[in-house]
Amino acid sequence: MKRVQILLATSAAAVAAGLWLAFTSPTDALQGEFSRILNLHAPFMWVAFLAFGLTALASIIWLFTKTPRWDRLGEASAELGVLFTVLGLFTGMVWGQAVWGRAWDWGDARMASTAVMLFVYIGYLALRRATPDPEMRARRSAILGAIAVVQVPLVYFSVYMFRTLHQTPSIRPDGASMPSEMLVALLVNFAAFTYLFVALLFARLEVARAEERLAADGALAGDSVKPPRLSEVKDV
Amino acid sequence: MSFWGQTLEIARVDLRVERRLGDVLRIVLPFAIVALLVFPVALGVDLSAITLVGPAVFWAVGVLFGMQVALRQAANDPPERRDLYSLLGVDPAARFAGRSLSGSVLMVGFLVALLIGMIVLYSPRLPPGWPAPMVLALLLTSIGLTELGTLAGEVTAGLRNRTALASLIVAPLALPLVIGGSQTLESLSRGAVILPWILLLVATDLALAVLGVALARPLEEASR
């Protein structure tokens, strides 16, 4: 537990440092202050992709090993992926309202495909909630987790596949299309939010282990009381 | 019996069940036609708008109601029949392929009937030479949607809220099929090449087929 607390505390410090850089780095000449939102939006989406990729990896490993910890990892990662996708969409919409003049634009394929990806993983989490048996839950969600990840490349490459409003990546192998101060702020935020994701993942895994221990602790009070079945009641 | 023999036999049984029950013809198709009628009523008597939105409404209604056709296959597969197939040594991959095959046949029929309904009701401006590419797009969309429905039906087998849950899983994952199908006609109208969209549909169908066959055994174990 102590390890998780240290991770959470240090990740909070890393995020604070990232935010400080985001708010003190130079702004874009055209977008002004609104360009600072991208220091959050891009890392949120990166973490979401990472989380869904991790869910797929854990799902595939579970299918081969049937080890519960991979199931727990898949679930925890998917939950965080959904959280970061919502945050990424929200920050994107705030930025879109300010820069494009509308929060949601159907001309942006990245936005629409991200929303679709979100619903795929909401379906994944709904499937887990709907399946009471742990073994069956793990198996079914592992299968869906392995299939659902096809959405991630679809979202990423949507900016190349369709005519869209969304810009292509600003950081490419041949260099970045921004001043170094802005680039440093963005990269620090990428690292900070990835670290936050790792910390939250460990915290969620602790909770999952505690839930499993609780479930394995045995019968609850009242479990032995069975309601009478009409067919078994005589002389009523 | 060989893999393909099992596949054809399962498809034949599924189609025979459908012939007796008539779910697609008697329930899903009339319901989908009603949905086609609802859109113009909601739009108002703007003939140019109705003509314009016809193909888009067709794809939206086709995929949403097509999901019911795809999931119907899995819903008509009770645990007793699954157990019987297992005891008979039927290959789970052949079951997936057989169900996908019979579902695709039903889906193509359903979408063609819906397309005729849309043309009659909406009078859309269709580009010259549209039938062949449209039939190809319908065929590929039907295969993909049925594969997806079969997979989702297996993943949610036996669950209390399976209908809603399976629809929630299928609808977002069907997006590449909707895009591929609708953009084929759109590209044809603009005089652009339709090959990328046909390739998108083929790639989606192949990916789903590979996943369905590869995951057939774990899916069978999961549904017990």
* Residue A14 is assigned to a structural domain of this protein: yes
How wide is the angle at C-alpha B35 spanned by C-alphas B34 and B41, nearest 5°?
90
pLDDT in the model for residue B83? 78
Q: Would you call A111 exposed, middle or buried from its count of C-beta atoms within 10 A (0-12, 13-18, 19+)?
A: buried
Q: How many CB atoms lie within 10 A of CB B78?
A: 11
Q: Of residues A13 and B78, which shows the higher confidence score?
A: A13
% pLDDT > 70, chain B: 96
Cβ atoms within 10 Å of B104's Cβ, excluding its own: 24
Answer yes or no: is pLDDT of B223 > 70.
no
For chain B, the first-to-last Cα distance in angstroms comes to 24
Smallest CA–CA distance, residue A164 to chain B, in Å, is 14
Lowest average pLDDT, out of A201-205, B61-65, B189-193, goes to B189-193
Contacts of A113 in chain B (CB under 8 A): 175
Least Cα distance to A118 among A72, A167, A151, A161 occurs for: A151
State the smallest CA–CA distance between residue A46 and chain B in angstroms: 21
pLDDT of residue A50: 96
Distance CA(B59)–CA(B30), nearest Å, equals 16
- pLDDT at position A216 is 75
Whole-Å CA distances, B10 to A7, B93, B122: 54, 11, 38
pLDDT, averaged across chain B = 86
Whether residues B156 and A126 touch (CB distance < 8 A) is answered with no
Return per-residue pLDDT of chain A as tens, 236 residues. Answer: 688 899 999 999 999 999 999 888 887 777 778 888 999 999 999 999 999 999 999 999 998 898 999 999 999 999 999 999 999 999 999 998 888 888 888 777 888 889 989 999 999 999 998 888 888 889 889 989 988 888 888 888 877 776 667 777 777 777 767 778 888 899 999 999 999 999 999 999 999 988 888 877 766 666 667 766 666 666 65
Q: Which residue of A has its CA nearest to B196?
A: A161
Give B223→chain A minimum CA distance, Å: 8
**Which amino acid belongs to residue A177?**
S
Report the residue of A66, A113, A128, A136 to disrupt the B interface, i.e. the one with the largest count of B CBs within 10 Å: A136
* CA distances for B215 relative to A53, B2, B52, B163, B212, angstroms: 19, 19, 41, 21, 5
Model confidence, pTM: 0.79
* Residue A46 included in any domain: yes
Specify the residue for token string 């604070």: A16
Q: Which of B173, B175, B222 sits opposite A140 (nearest CB)?
A: B222
Please give the structure tokens belonging to residue B57: 């409404």
Distances (CA, A) of A50 to A55, A122, A206: 9, 17, 20
Query: What residues are paired with A171 via a beta bridge?
Result: A176
**Closest-CA residue of chain A to B168:** A123
Instruction: Count each helix (H run) and each strand (E run) in chain B, helices first.
Output: 11, 0
Whether residues B168 and A119 touch (CB distance < 8 A) is answered with yes
Of A120, A140, A142, the CB nearest to B173: A120
Instruction: Say what the pLDDT of residue B222 is.
Output: 66
Whether the Cβ atoms of residue A185 and residue A21 lie closer than 8 Å to each other: yes
Residue in this structure with the two tokens 């314009």, named with its chain if needed = B52
Which residue, among B191, B168, B176, has the nearest Cα to B140 in the 3D structure? B176
**Reduced to 3 DSSP states, what percent helix, strand and coil does chain B have, rounded to the nearest 5?**
85, 0, 15
Question: Which residues make Cβ contacts (< 8 Å) with residue A27, sequence separation at least 6?
Answer: A33, A35, A36
The answer to whether the Cβ–Cβ distance between B218 and A120 falls below 8 Å is no
> Which of B156, B215, B221 is the closest to A127 by Cβ?
B156
Residue A172 covered by a domain: no
Q: Which residue has the higher pLDDT, B185 or A106?
A: B185
**pLDDT confidence of residue B41:** 83
Residue range of the domain that includes B11: 3-222
Q: Return d(Cα B94, Cα B8) in angstroms, integer.
A: 9
Note the pLDDT of residue A179: 76
For A6: left if phi > 0, alpha if psi spans -120 to 50, otherwise beta; the answer is: alpha
For residue A14, the model assigns a pLDDT of: 95
Q: What is the pLDDT of residue B74?
A: 65
CATH number at residue A92: 1.20.120
Q: What is the largest CA-CA distance in chain B?
A: 59
Number of domains in chain B: 1
pLDDT tier, B209 (very low <50, low <70, confident <90, very high otherwise): very high
pLDDT at B67: 87
User: What phi, psi does A94 have (nearest 5°)?
Assistant: -65, -45
Asked if pLDDT for residue B177 goes beyond 60, the answer is yes
**Number of compact structural domains in chain A:** 1
Interface of A with B (CB under 8 A): 63, 113, 116-117, 119-120, 122-124, 126-127, 130-131, 136, 139-140, 142-144, 146-148, 150-151, 154
Cα separation, B151 vs B128, in Å, equals 37
> Which structural domain range is residue A77 located in?
2-167+177-232
